[in-house]
Structure 1
Amino acid sequence: MPVRSMLSVRLGERRLKITELARQTGISRGTLTRLYHDEADRVDLDVLSRLCAALGCTVADLLEYRAEA
């Protein structure tokens, strides 16, 4: 898939755990775990908005597009 979740990188930079982020944002651990492991098929705009607010970043910091060769 050409779109990749960068949540694991952002959490690593902040030394933040999925459980703490779930507590801060109200996003389920399951959703965050799928994003963390880059296994999500889709992401709601509300989820992206909450993540950006909690992590102080933009959508471009959370998702990366790689053109398929």
Structure 2
Amino acid sequence: MKVIIKLDQLLTEREMSQHELARQTGIRQPSINDMCRNQTQRIPLDNLAKICEVLGCEITDVLKLEKEQSE
């Protein structure tokens, strides 16, 4: 199983930049960029809560659990 971070999609839907999300949440912009590119290994729960609060969404809107393709 693999966790997919859908933050980039949410920002596009809400017409919000990574920089604006960083400003409103207090999360460093490089951290948000890593989340948008699915290159982060850990997301502190308080950061996840801040993102959900600012975007007006649920955790399941940000994270998705997906089965990995077997080769």
TM-score by length of 1: 0.95
Structure showing greater radius of gyration is 2
Q: How does 1:1-69 map to 2 (within 5 A)?
A: 2-69=2-69
Q: Indicate the percent of aligned positions where both proteins have the same amino acid.
A: 36
Q: Secondary structure of the residue that 1:52 maps to in structure 2?
A: helix
Any stretches of 5+ residues in structure 2 without a counterpart? none
- What count of residue pairs does the alignment treat as equivalent? 69
- Root-mean-square deviation over aligned CA pairs: 1.1
Q: TM-score, normalised by structure 2?
A: 0.92
CA distance in 2, matches of 1:28, 1:41: 16
Where does structure 1 differ by over 3 angstroms across 4 or more consecutive aligned residues?
Answer: none
